[in-house]
Amino acid sequence: MSRIKAIMNFLYFKQAWGLLLLMLLLLPFMGNAQQTKGAALSLKQAWLLADSNSKKIQASEIDVQVSAARLGVAKDERLPEVSVNGQYAYVFNMPIYENGLFHTPEQFPIERTYYKAGAQTHLNLYSGGKINREIKYAQKEQEMSHVEHRQTTADIHYQVVVHYYDLYRNTAYRALLLQDIKEREKQLHEIEQLYANGTVLKSDVLRATLRLSKQRMLLVEINNSIQIATQRLNILIGKPDEEPAYIPIDTSGSLPLYRLQPLQTYLSEAHAHAFKGQLSEKDKELSALKLQEVKSNTAPKIGFFAEYGYGYPQIQFYPYSLALYGSGMAGIKMSIPLSGLYTNKHKVKEAALLLEQKEIALYNSHDEIRQEVEEAYLRCAEALEKVEVAKENIVQAAESYRIMRNTYFNQLALLTDFLDAETQLLQSRFELSTAQANAQVQFYKLQKTIGNL
Phi, psi angle pair for 336, to nearest 5°? -125, 115
Residues 269 and 367 placed together within one structural domain of the fold: yes
Work out the pLDDT band at 3, boundaries 50, 70, 90: very low
Q: Given this model, what pLDDT does residue 249 score?
A: 60
CATH of the domain at 147: 1.20.1600.10
CB 165 within 8 A of CB 248: no
Query: What is the per-residue pLDDT across 105-119, written as a single tens digit (0 to 9) for each?
Result: 887 767 778 888 889
Q: Given this model, what pLDDT does residue 9 score?
A: 46
Query: What is the per-residue pLDDT across 337-377, written as a single tens digit (0 to 9) for each?
Result: 888 788 888 888 989 999 999 999 999 999 999 999 999 99
| DSSP code for 369 | H
Residues 47 and 146 placed together within one structural domain of the fold: yes
315 or 282: which leads in pLDDT: 282
Alpha-carbon gap, residue 311 to 164, rounded angstroms: 76
Which of 301, 322, 300 shows the shortest CA–CA distance to 313? 322
Residues 61 and 142 placed together within one structural domain of the fold: yes
Work out the pLDDT band at 96, boundaries 50, 70, 90: confident
CATH of the domain at 121: 2.20.200
Question: Measured in whole angstroms, how far is the alpha carbon of residue 357 from the centre of its chain?
Answer: 27
Q: Which residues of 243-269 are buried (b: 16+ CB within 10 A; e: fewer)?
A: ebbbbebeeeeebeeeeeeeeeebbeb
Work out the pLDDT band at 91, boundaries 50, 70, 90: confident
Q: Given this model, what pLDDT does residue 39 score?
A: 62
Question: Measured in whole angstroms, how far is the alpha carbon of residue 318 from the centre of its chain?
Answer: 72
Query: What is the per-residue pLDDT across 25-61, written as a single tens digit (0 to 9) for each?
Result: 444 444 343 333 446 788 888 899 898 888 889 999 9
Residues 85 and 72 placed together within one structural domain of the fold: no
Domain end (from 207, 222, 249): 249
Q: Given this model, what pLDDT does residue 149 score?
A: 92
Residues 151 and 269 placed together within one structural domain of the fold: no
Alpha-carbon gap, residue 391 to 436, rounded angstroms: 10
38 or 173: which leads in pLDDT: 173
Domain end (from 286, 311, 335): 335
Residues 122 and 142 placed together within one structural domain of the fold: no
Residues 258 and 160 placed together within one structural domain of the fold: no
Query: What is the per-residue pLDDT across 181-200, written as a single tens digit (0 to 9) for each?
Result: 888 788 778 778 877 877 77
Residues 120 and 143 placed together within one structural domain of the fold: no
Residues 290 and 356 placed together within one structural domain of the fold: yes
Q: Given this model, what pLDDT does residue 191 score?
A: 76
81 or 17: which leads in pLDDT: 81
Q: Taking 60 as the threshold, does the pLDDT of residue 395 lie above it?
A: yes
**Taking the CB of residue 302, how many other CB atoms lie within 10 A of it?**
15
Q: Taking 60 as the threshold, does the pLDDT of residue 321 lie above it?
A: yes
One-character DSSP codes across 390-453 = HHHHHHHHHHHHHHHHHHHHTTSS-HHHHHHHHHHHHHHHHHHHHHHHHHHHHHHHHHHHTT--
| DSSP code for 321 | B
Angle at 259 between CA 254 and CA 263, to 5 degrees: 140
Work out the pLDDT band at 146, boundaries 50, 70, 90: very high
Instruction: Indicate the average pLDDT of the chain.
Output: 81
Residues near 150 by Cβ (< 8 Å), separated by ≥ 6?
A: 275, 451
Work out the pLDDT band at 420, boundaries 50, 70, 90: confident
Domain end (from 249, 267, 284): 249
Work out the pLDDT band at 415, boundaries 50, 70, 90: low
Residues 264 and 373 placed together within one structural domain of the fold: yes
Q: Given this model, what pLDDT does residue 373 score?
A: 92
Question: How many domains, in total, are found in the chain?
Answer: 3
| DSSP code for 42 | -
CB 329 within 8 A of CB 306: yes
- Helix (H) or strand (E) holding 88, with range, is strand 81-90
Work out the pLDDT band at 160, boundaries 50, 70, 90: very high
Range of the domain at 72: 1-79+129-249
Q: Taking 60 as the threshold, does the pLDDT of residue 24 lie above it?
A: no
pTM of the predicted model as reported, rounded to 2 decimal places: 0.76
Residues 363 and 272 placed together within one structural domain of the fold: yes
Q: Given this model, what pLDDT does residue 23 score?
A: 43
Residues 212 and 308 placed together within one structural domain of the fold: no
Query: What is the per-residue pLDDT across 225-278, written as a single tens digit (0 to 9) for each?
Result: 888 888 888 888 888 877 776 676 654 445 667 788 888 999 998 988 889 899
Q: Given this model, what pLDDT does residue 175 score?
A: 85
Alpha-carbon gap, residue 280 to 293, rounded angstroms: 20
Which of 144, 154, 142 shows the shortest CA–CA distance to 54? 154
Which of 448, 444, 377 shows the shortest CA–CA distance to 151? 448
CB 158 within 8 A of CB 453: yes
